[in-house]
Structure formats: C-alpha cells, structure tokens
Amino acid sequence: MGKYRKLGRTSDQRKALIRNQVTALLYNGKIVTTEAKAKEVRKVAEGLIAMAVREKDNFEEVTVTAKVPRKDKDGKRVKEVVDGKRVTVYDEVEKKIKKDLPSRLHARRQMNKVLYSVKFVPAENAGKKKNTRKIDVATKIFDEIAPKYVGRNGGYTRIVKIGQRKGDGALEVLLELV
C-alpha cells in the first residue's frame, strides 16, 4: 500500500499543488480544499511547524552597522553632486539582527525547499509594483506560529468538514491552524 495519496496528478504537479497549499495555509491560517488534499497538506504543514517549534529559540542577536540611504520628507533618496555626478547620501545605522545558529539555519533551508515566496500587494496599489513586499513565510513560522505551539506535541492543524462541492460533489473541508 502506498504511503501517500496520488490525487490524480503526476508527481511534479502533485508536489507543486502541495507546496502551494502548504504555503497558503501557513500564510493565511486556513484554506478550503478537498478532504484528500487536506490530509496530504496536513502531513507536510505539521512537519514544518514541528521543526520550527524545535528551533524557535536557536538564534543569537547581533548588532551590525548598516549603510542606509538618507531620505527626504517624501520618502525619496537624497542625492548630492560629487565630481559632476549625482550620488546618493548614506547614513550608518546600528541595527540588531537575529543570526540563526547552524541547526536553525538548516531548518529554515528545509522549509524554503517546501514553501513558495509570497508577495503582498496593498489593496490601494492592486496591479502596480509600488509598495509590493516579498514576505518570508519561514520567518513568519518561526516568529508568529511556533511560539503559539510550544507546549503542544503535534496536532497543530484541524480539519473541519464543510459539505459537498456543488460542481462535482467532492467533500470539502476547512483546514486551519489550531
């Protein structure tokens, strides 16, 4: 007997579908899908969350100096003329960053093998590139999702049956983070 459901797809299509749904689940907190897909997505998502819970506190805070472009009141970079060329003016700023220790870095890379990158576009700029942000879902798992499940041994997701889909009668479920 097989160890997974084939979902009527070739292996590359199936992997892409599962990656897409796992990313959507972890980014949004819940998804609506069929029961068979939900059970497959649940396996992958719970593994990623368990990995994040294990490695949640495995980092060190480091202070670094970074060059940041100076900006005016409109948010545009300040430029000055040097040797006949317009050059951006930079300020040095002290920043505290989280530096992953080796095991957490490995966990982050394992997550990024599964998760797709998510782009957030504000509603007022729909269809435009302005203010589009790339969101790191692995960081969201470490910082927001993992702390909620520290005292819990598995069972991070819940499947709630909704009913049958109108078109083909497939049983739809709501897969959500507990």
Average pLDDT over residues 145-157: 94
What are the DSSP E strand ranges found in 3-156?
30-34, 59-69, 79-82, 85-88, 90-100, 118-120, 133-135
Q: What is the pLDDT of residue 69?
A: 92
Taking the C-alpha atoms of 33, 37, 42 and 44 in order, what is their torsion angle to the nearest 10 degrees?
Answer: -130
Mean pLDDT of the chain: 93
Read off the tokens for 44: 């992958």
Rounded distance, CA 3 to CA 20, Å? 20
Whole-Å CA distances, 58 to 142, 150, 153, 165: 10, 14, 19, 44
Tens digits of per-residue pLDDT, 128-148?
Answer: 777 788 999 999 999 999 999
Instruction: Tell me the fold of 11-58+101-177.
Output: 50s Ribosomal Protein L17; Chain: A, (3.90.1030)
CB contact at 8 A, 137 and 40: no
Question: Could you tell me which residue, 76 or 31, shows the higher pLDDT?
Answer: 31
Q: What is the pLDDT of residue 24?
A: 97
Q: What is the pLDDT of residue 63?
A: 96
| Domain-wise residue ranges, the chain | 11-58+101-177, 59-100
Beta partners for residue 31, in sequence order: 175
Q: Give the predicted TM-score (pTM) of the model.
A: 0.84
Average pLDDT over residues 118-137: 82
**pLDDT of 1 higher than 60:** no
